[in-house]
Structure 1
Amino acid sequence: MNNFPLTVKRSIELLGLMALVAVIVIGRDIIMPILMAFFISIMLLPVYRFLKKKKFPESLSIILPIMLVALFVALIVWFFSNQIGILVKDFPQIKANVTQHINSLSDWISRITHYNDKQQKAFIQGKSDDLMNMGTSLAGGAAVTLSGIFVFIGLLPIYIYLMLFYKDILLRFIFMWFKPDHHPKVKEAIYETESIIKSYLIGLLIQITYMTILLGGILMLIGIKHALLIGVIFAILNLIPYVGALIGNLIGVLLTLTSSQELWPVVTVLGVIAFVQFLDNNILMPRIVGSKVKINALFAILGVFIGGSVAGVSGMFLALPIVAVLKIIFDRTEMFKQWGALLGDERPAKSPMSFPSFRKKKPIPVKSGVEGKE
């Protein structure tokens, strides 16, 4: 391939990229559980190695970490089911609060526009009917969706077990894919990939914990109802870069509105969320996760949206670690170094239009004081 013209090489790269996306879209039901299992397996490697050092049988060294993950997931499911039960008990009060907020909104709209109450009710009724029709059409696929979720969850522990059990075979396959002269770079990339994924995923677990305690605890002290639920929901959604925080703010406002007849709790919730996010983005998370691989914000957001469109919520969660792994691979491959530069946040100190040296595939001076989002 080194003898091919540059235009042919770039065309092959783009065709390969399109083929990869097509394969992921077509086989996402198979590929996504495997990718999720891969990342969880790497996160469980330290526990597995610790148990192996303590002379535990290999099968038990794999099963025990998987059981820890299952226990963690079960606790999350129990918490949400418990909180949903509380919301159901409060439904009459929630309905009254929502009615009051809607009436207040209706009065405000009537004052600033020419729409009267009857026109507003007709509009709301029409949109409600549209939502009901949409819900009816989606209900037919609910069983398929639920069955897909159960299959996904059922396959995960099997994939995790087999990946840990056969990890040496997988590593041998990777080394055999490259020439012996390239093995040192391959080994370096494997170690860095493992380090990045472990620090990222373990950091996210720590992030969920402290954000839940901080946000939920502060809101509880202030006296906001459903404070802990707001904290957990926001902490989990915040794992989705950029987009998750916006959705978390919206859900926090909606939960606060349904549990209060006043507007000051909404302002309080938004203020506390903004404060906790400031601590998270600028002080806590950079110290926990570190900054080994930096992805620029543009491709982090694009990755989240592409992952969501291809594989739903799981794709959004996995977008950033996948992009980080791709950058590690691209940076160590001469053919794809330009893709690694595109994904990174290392801005040249001067414009490549004026300095030809900044157009080459080599380390470049970067602008000082510019930090990218992990």
Structure 2
Amino acid sequence: MTNNLPLTVKRSIELLGLIGLIAVMVIARDIIMPILMAFFISIVLLPIYRFLRNRKVPETLSIVLPILLVAVFVALIVWFFSHQIGILVKDFPQIKENVKQHIDSLSDWISRITNFDDKQQKAFIQDKSDDIMNMATSLAGGAALTLSGVFVFIGLLPIYIYLMLFYKDILLRFVFMWFKADDHPKVKEAIYETESIIKSYLIGLLIQITYMTILLGGILLLIGIKHALLIGVIFAILNLIPYVGALIGNLIGVLLTLTSSQELWPVVTVLGVIALVQFLDNNILMPRIVGSKVKINALFAILGVFIGGSIAGVSGMFLALPIVAVLKIIFDRTTMFKQWGILFGDERPAKSPMSFAKFRRKRNVEVKPGSEKG
């Protein structure tokens, strides 16, 4: 039916569909995000479920045991954070003294290069502190609502995961019934590749958190940086958010180091170690762990992260890349949306489409030698 429509009408339908999808995501994000998160986690748990079923373990137990494994893992992370935060709280008097010294040093430096004296600077800092406190007070109610939303989110996840694993065959049949029988081999291929990509990505992220925490935290601990393990685990978790997370992780690492030391050399050391670990992660470790089955170009990876963040906060930023990867898999296997798959990918044509007509068509083309890294 759609093949007989004019090209402009097809493109209009695509754009309206895209706008409609984003509108639905924004309006129903509190419903959709737990379902998406549960979908990705259930795919990661599928191998454990299948292993238990092959050993004749009852189906209910084969679903509950992997969910309990995830719950134990999350509980360990929460315990580690609470333990490290407890250590940070014990050092609060020393932190307060260090912060005061850094502020005094900054004040002296500002006085030397500007006309602002100590009194003016203190008045400015006091005004800004009052503004921050007022803002914090006004946001306290919103924070409480957000916290309750987080508990609801976490509470729904095990239920959704259980039901998705239990009813997976119904869901698969539903997907196949959307397509003609001739297209079922392509649908099956897309399902298998989607499962492979999501498992590869999410398991790779878990491995990444582990080795980055050990590498970064271990090196900083050996050097003698205070709160080394906390810096390591915070950076490792924030690094899961592509591009943006690493910047925030660097900033938090610097702030934690400044508050725990009266000198500046630890800050330079922390930044240097983070840069070294990131280089190893980006160029050696992560490409070999996750692989290069689906490559998303940096432009749409960053756009996806910001759009996901604006729609659903941190969970949206975290899920942005796997969602874009799944969409690319689907788009690459359709004629109507193939151009979107090309737009998301990083396979650059060897020659400019402005000069060579064959590079304008919906088919596989020669790519530049440096465009397939990883």
Aligned to 1:199: 200
1:45-64 matches, cutoff 5 A: 45-64=46-65
CA contact (8 A) 1:297 1:372 kept: no
Structure 2 partner of 1:369: 370
Aligned AA (1:79): F
Deviations 1:50-86 (A, max 9, x none): 1111110000000000000000000010111111111
Please give the per-residue CA displacement for 1:252-300, whole angstroms capped at 9, x wherever unaligned.
0000001000000000000000000000000000000000000000000
Question: What is the alpha-carbon distance in structure 1 between the residues aligned to residue 324 and residue 176 of structure 2?
Answer: 22
Instruction: Note if 1:139 corresponds to 2:140.
Output: yes
Give the structure 1 partner of residue 299 of structure 2.
Answer: 298
- Greater Cα shift, 104-113 or 6-15: 104-113
Distance of 1:268 and 1:176 partners within structure 2:
58
| Paired amino acid for 2:136 | G
Deviation at 1:114, TM superposition (A): 1.6
1:8 aligns with 2:9: yes
Shift of 1:342: 0.3
d(CA) in 1 for partners of 2:71, 2:23: 32
RMSD over aligned CA atoms reads: 0.8
Deviations, residues 220-241 of structure 1 (Å, cap 9, x unaligned)? 0000000000000000000000
Q: CA deviation at 1:48?
A: 0.5
Show structure 1 runs of 4+ deviating over 3 A.
none
What secondary structure, in the 3-state scheme, does the structure 2 residue paired with 1:177 have? coil
Measure the CA separation in 2 of the matches of 1:256 and 1:350. 49
Relative distance call for 1:372 and 1:300 in structure 2 (3 A) is farther
Q: Answer yes or no: is the 8 Å Cα contact 1:296–1:372 preserved in 2.
A: no
- Equivalent positions of 1:103-122 (< 5 A) are 103-122=104-123
Structure 1 residue 315: Cα displacement? 0.3
- Structure 1 residue 136: Cα displacement: 1.0
Identity in percent: 87
Question: What is the deviation of 1:174?
Answer: 0.2
Q: What does residue 220 of structure 2 align with? A: 219
2:101 equivalent to 1:100: yes
Superposed displacement of residue 109, structure 1 = 1.0
Task: Indicate if the aligned counterparts of 1:345 and 1:372 stay in contact, CA closer than 8 A.
Answer: no
**Residues 85-107 of structure 1: CA deviation (Å, up to 9, x unaligned):** 11111100000000000100111
Q: Distance in 2 between matches of 1:113 and 1:185?
A: 68
Conservation of the 8 A alpha-carbon contact between 1:295 and 1:372: no
**Which residue in the other structure is 2:259 paired with?**
258
- Specify every segment of 5 or more residues in structure 2 that has no aligned partner in the other structure, as ranges: none
Task: Tell me how far apart the structure 2 counterparts of residues 94 and 286 of structure 1 sit (CA, whole Å).
Answer: 39
**Number of residue pairs the alignment of both structures matches:** 373
Displacement of 1:372: 5.6
User: Could you tell me which amino acid in structure 2 is paired with residue 227 of structure 1?
Assistant: A
Query: 1:71 is matched with which residue?
Result: 72
1:165 paired residue number: 166
Task: Tell me by how many angstroms 1:3 deviates.
Answer: 1.1
Structure 1 residues 204-283: aligned runs within 5 Å = 204-283=205-284
The 3-state SS of whatever aligns with 2:280 is: helix
Deviation at 1:110, TM superposition (A): 1.0
Q: Does 1:24 align with 2:25?
A: yes
CA distance in 2, matches of 1:129, 1:12: 51
> Normalization by structure 2: what TM-score?
0.99
Q: Which moved more, 1:302-311 or 1:112-121?
A: 112-121
Name 1:344's counterpart in structure 2. Answer: 345
Structure 1 unaligned spans of 5+: none
Q: Distance in 2 between matches of 1:142 and 1:257?
A: 27
Offset of residue 207 of structure 1: 0.4
* Cα shift at 1:143: 2.1
